[in-house]
């Protein structure tokens, strides 16, 4: 079969599969009912790859009109994506929507479940790896307080982790099936859940290097790992490493049938990532899978990690924190702004804004990354409104492999501490985020909020981006220069 298969972008009139046309249309449709002027502006954007930033900000601003406005943007954005994206069966046949693919005969053999039980100890105490130490008890509480004082996390994040510390029995997740979509991801909860003796259902591509690493983690801890394999696969590690995997992008119905057949309450954790346009394709596949499975399993919970490099409405307390820092840096700020002709170090918010708009989008990450992450935010809002248990947490900037491959972003992270932003190591981030997942599962998704933007700010660990004095993009170039200088030194 010629051309791409699985979840693919729709073909335009000239036969091309344009990521730009898709992104522009989805953003315009998401805005249309709430902000028709913004919708027309998105439709007529001629330089989407650079101009997308303002339109993604407008999606947040339009949703601030009311709870209904925010949910309308989310529902219409999801509908626009799913009606446009296509599923091209790998073995041939007509293209359908991703939702229609689940009812088709994809002729793929069913997967069976292999289970690996670890031989390591089971921990029932929350501990956090941080700068060469393992923080527990009061040491961890002091670190949380220090992060709050520095503006690195929101106070509600410290409160949520504090509740997990006070209830160590919450870490026993044997009553849940934590489905880790993207099992090899550095930011996922797989190591922590296995350390706490829980059950992890691991889904990732059939690549031996992924499963070798995942199986090594499972053997080291005390939990149980469930993984998809072809029916005739042996149960030794060599056979599992060679054969395990479920391809969500190209064999979506096969993966859905396997997950639907698992027992217990499913927690669908979305930790997938791919480079470039493939990120939108796999994000769409996961979202279609989520809709299909929650239709069959209404008790399923959803879990998402949000990127800090996006646009968020933030509370007045964060704005005030940023303003205090802006006032305290007057002389240095004025000098740099003068030298740069006013291009550097803009204030993060207008004084007194409540909520403020934190725009931490990084243009170099591109519109496909922004759309894939916004899709998750929309699904979280819509699912929560429908009564589902949803864990949605803004994760801190983290030195993951994907970040370090981007030289400019890696340099910006290296220089970010000069502006009050803390960049986390993956082990610290994924353990902290796993603790917040536990909190949300044990509290029904956290406290009820009156607007989706407040749900997004709850327990956020943004690394300081919301509370720094300067608009992040106005400091980005300087952070890159400082980071490159530090690396050379």
Query: Does residue 424 contact residue 131 with C-beta atoms inside 8 Å?
Result: no
Q: Rounded CA gap, 283 and 372, in Å?
A: 6
Looking at residue 347, the DSSP 8-state letter turns out to be: B
Q: 487 or 138: whose pLDDT is higher?
A: 138
Q: How far apart are CA 396 and CA 359, in angstroms?
A: 15
Can you tell me the mean pLDDT for 413-423? 91
Best CATH choice for the domain 112-487 from the list 3.30.70.100, 3.10.20.30, 3.10.129.10, 3.40.50.720: 3.40.50.720
- Express each pLDDT in 184-225 by its tens digit: 999 999 999 999 999 999 999 999 999 999 999 999 999 999
CB-CB contact of 413 with 174 (8 Å)? no
Q: What end-to-end distance do the CA atoms of the chain give, in Å?
A: 52
The 10s digit of each residue's pLDDT in 112-124 is 999 999 999 999 9
* Unique residue bearing structure tokens 């359908």: 96
Give pLDDT tens digits for 58-80. 999 999 999 999 999 999 999 99
Averaged pLDDT score across all residues of the chain: 94
**What is the residue whose two structure tokens read 């998105």?**
42
pLDDT over 90 percentage in the chain: 84
Residue located via tokens 């929650």: 294
Residue 489 scores a pLDDT above 50: no
CB neighbour burial string for 317-334, b if at least 16 within 10 angstroms, e if fewer: ebbbbbbebbeebeeebe
Task: Output the pLDDT for position 1.
Answer: 46
Query: Which among 88, 84, 89 has a CA at the least distance from the CA of 10?
Result: 84
What pLDDT does 340 receive?
Answer: 57
* Cα torsion 177, 180, 184, 185: sign: negative
Q: Categorize the per-residue pLDDT at 479 as very low, low, confident or very high, splitting at 50, 70 and 90.
A: confident
In percent, the amount of the chain with pLDDT more than 70 equals 95
Identify whether the C-beta of residue 455 lies closer than 8 Å to the C-beta of residue 341.
no
- Average pLDDT on 330-336 reads 60
Q: Determine the average pLDDT of the residues in 99-113.
A: 87
Mean per-residue pLDDT, 133-158:
98
Residue 335 has pLDDT above 90, yes or no: no
Size (the chain), residues:
489
Q: What is the pLDDT of residue 231?
A: 94
Contact 86, 95 (CB under 8 A): yes
Stretch 89-103: mean pLDDT:
91
pTM of the predicted model as reported, rounded to 2 decimal places: 0.95
Q: Please state the rounded mean pLDDT for residues 23-49.
A: 97
Task: Enter the tokens of residue 420.
Answer: 């009050």
Rg (CA), the chain: 22
Structural contact between residues 236 and 145, judged by C-beta atoms closer than 8 angstroms: no
The predicted structure's pLDDT at residue 357: 98
pLDDT for 233-258, tens place per residue? 999 999 999 999 999 999 999 999 99
The C-alpha atoms of residue 135 and residue 12 are separated, in whole angstroms, by 54
For residues 285 and 248, the answer to whether their CB atoms sit within 8 Å is yes
Dihedral pair phi/psi, residue 113, rounded to 5°: -100, 125
Q: Cβ–Cβ contacts within 10 Å for residue 121, how many?
A: 11
Give the residue from 22, 88, 87 showing the smallest Cα distance to 292. Answer: 87
- Taking the C-alpha atoms of residue 126 and residue 4, their distance in angstroms, rounded to an integer, is 45
Please give the structure tokens belonging to residue 209.
């290097």
Quote the pLDDT of residue 15.
Answer: 85
Mean pLDDT across 41-63: 97
CA distance readout (Å), 467 to 12, 454, 455: 43, 16, 18
Domain(s) of CATH 3.40.50.720: residues in the chain: 112-487
| Per-residue model confidence as pLDDT tens digits over 386-401 | 999 999 999 999 999 8
What pLDDT was estimated at residue 264?
Answer: 93
Q: 57 to each of 37, 51, 216, 302, 309, how far by Cα in Å?
A: 14, 11, 42, 25, 12
Report how far residue 288's alpha carbon sits from residue 102's, in angstroms, rounded to the nearest whole number. Answer: 9
Q: What confidence score (pLDDT) does residue 271 get?
A: 97
pLDDT per residue as tens digits for the range 296-326: 999 999 999 999 999 999 999 999 999 999 9
């Amino acid at each position: 079969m010629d051309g791409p298969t699985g979840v693919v972008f729709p073909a335009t009139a000239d036969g091309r599969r344009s990521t730009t046309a898709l992104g522009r249309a989805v953003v315009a449709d998401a805005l249309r009912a709430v902000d028709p002027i913004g919708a027309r502006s998105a439709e007529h954007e001629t330089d989407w790859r650079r101009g997308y930033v303002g339109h993604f900000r407008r999606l947040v601003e339009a949703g601030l009109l009311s709870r209904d406005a925010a949910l309308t943007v989310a529902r219409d954005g999801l509908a626009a994506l799913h009606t446009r994206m296509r599923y091209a069966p790998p073995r041939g046949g007509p293209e359908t929507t991703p939702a229609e693919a689940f009812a088709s005969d994809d002729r793929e053999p069913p997967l069976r479940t292999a289970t690996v039980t670890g031989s390591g100890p089971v921990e029932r105490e929350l501990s956090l790896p941080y700068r060469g130490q393992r923080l527990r008890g009061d040491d961890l509480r002091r670190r949380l307080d220090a992060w709050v004082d520095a503006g690195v996390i929101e106070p509600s994040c410290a409160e949520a982790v504090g509740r997990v510390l006070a209830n160590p029995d919450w870490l026993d997740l044997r009553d849940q099936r934590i489905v880790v979509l993207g099992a090899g991801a550095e930011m996922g909860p797989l190591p922590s859940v296995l350390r706490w003796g829980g059950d992890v259902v691991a889904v990732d591509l059939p690549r031996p290097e992924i499963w070798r690493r995942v199986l090594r983690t499972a053997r080291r801890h005390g939990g149980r790992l469930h993984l998809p394999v072809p029916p005739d696969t042996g149960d030794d590690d060599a056979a599992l490493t060679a054969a395990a995997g479920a391809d969500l992008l190209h064999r979506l119905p096969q993966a859905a049938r396997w997950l639907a057949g698992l027992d217990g309450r499913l927690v669908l954790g979305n930790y997938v990532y791919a480079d470039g346009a493939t990120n939108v394709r796999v994000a769409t596949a996961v979202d279609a899978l989520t809709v299909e499975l929650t239709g069959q399993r209404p008790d399923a919970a959803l879990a998402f990690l949000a990127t800090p490099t996006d646009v968020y409405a933030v509370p007045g307390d964060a704005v005030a924190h940023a303003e205090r820092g802006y006032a305290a840096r007057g002389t240095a700020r004025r000098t740099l702004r003068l030298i740069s002709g006013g291009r550097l170090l803009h204030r993060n918010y207008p004084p007194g804004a409540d909520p403020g708009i934190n725009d931490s989008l990084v243009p170099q990450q591109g519109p496909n990354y922004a759309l894939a992450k916004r899709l998750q935010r929309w699904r979280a809002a819509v699912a929560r409104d429908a009564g589902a248990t949803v864990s949605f947490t803004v994760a801190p900037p983290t030195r993951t492999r994907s970040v370090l491959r981007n030289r400019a972003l890696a340099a910006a992270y290296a220089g970010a501490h000069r502006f009050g932003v803390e960049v986390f190591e993956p082990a610290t981030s994924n353990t902290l985020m796993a603790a917040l997942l536990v909190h949300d599962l044990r509290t029904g998704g956290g406290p009820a909020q009156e607007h989706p933007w407040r749900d997004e700010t709850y327990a956020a660990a943004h690394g300081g981006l919301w509370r720094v004095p300067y608009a992040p993009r106005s400091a980005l170039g300087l952070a890159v220069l400082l980071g490159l200088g530090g690396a050379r030194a």
